[in-house]
Amino acid sequence: MVFNTINKKKIGVCIITYNSQEYFEKLFYSLPDHKYDELVVVNGGNPYDKIYKRMNGPIKWIQHEKNKGSGQSRNDGLEYLRSRDMDYYFIIEDDMVILDENIFDKYIEANKVSGLQYFCYASNAWGVGPRFARTPRMKVQYTENITINLYQHCCNEFTFRTKELIDKVGNYNPNYLSMFDVDNIKRISDWELGNPFWYSPDLSDSDSLINNNPDAISRMNPDGSRDSKLQDDAKLFHLLHGKFVWQTEELSRSQVIEKLKFIKQCKMQATP
């Protein structure tokens, strides 16, 4: 088995798939197999008709007998990776494609220089702009090679987080149908070392690292029922946080800068 050697810390990858074997295969074969230590696949749909193998290690396959939802699928993957004592966690939906074999290294390096412990690929989120012409709210250059974009909205198709963040913030709340990621980001922002809400971080060059599968068809709201069910999610968010999402405090630019400075300082102090 070939293990990642970045400071001898281990990388875990979780793929979430649902009735999309063709998409899954394209993502699976795009993964840089020698660049991570553990892979877990959580299939919330029908079983696939073949067995997949890695060159550099086993695959943990979790097959749900019934659809438990996106939040619980992510939790099952995270819990397995936590049982394997991973340091860095990447969750990827099956309709993504990796373009650069160094993608994991680059997000980890961004964590090391910024202290930010959560990143999410901008993808097709509201207001982020088109690929290679993104429109972030802020850009922060940490080194000559690492600039981080901050967006008002985010997607959950590709995310990075650290062991420390998961230990402090916890897993996703599986009681949400669709807003499990929004709730998770709110809890991250409530942590003293979490990025501010309404300022979701991503690498400025992420479009050269990953992309949505161009052949994939969106499954977010296929029958139009998602919008009506979001009302229940909104009520749950209000119950848990005492406000609706749109009422969540938005920090000023200067406050965001101070928070980012604080996060970086804490990271530098904690680095041996």
Answer yes or no: are the C-beta atoms of 139 and 256 closer than 8 Å: no
Tell me how far CA of residue 177 lies from CA of 38, 126, 272, in angstroms. 28, 19, 41
Query: How far is 173 from 65, CA to CA, in rounded Å?
Result: 20
Among 119, 100, 88, 105, residue whose Cα is nearest residue 11: 88
Query: Looking at residues 155-177, what average pLDDT do you find?
Result: 96
Among 24, 23, 56, residue whose Cα is nearest residue 38: 56
pLDDT one-digit tens code per residue, 36-79: 999 999 999 999 999 999 998 999 999 999 999 999 999 999 99
Q: What is the pLDDT of residue 8?
A: 80
User: What tokens appear for 259 in the block?
Assistant: 């928070």
What value does the mean pLDDT of the chain take? 93
pLDDT one-digit tens code per residue, 55-66: 989 999 999 999
Percent of the chain with pLDDT over 90: 87
pLDDT one-digit tens code per residue, 110-124: 999 999 999 999 999
Where does the pLDDT of residue 212 fall: very low under 50, low under 70, confident under 90, or very high at 90 and above?
very high
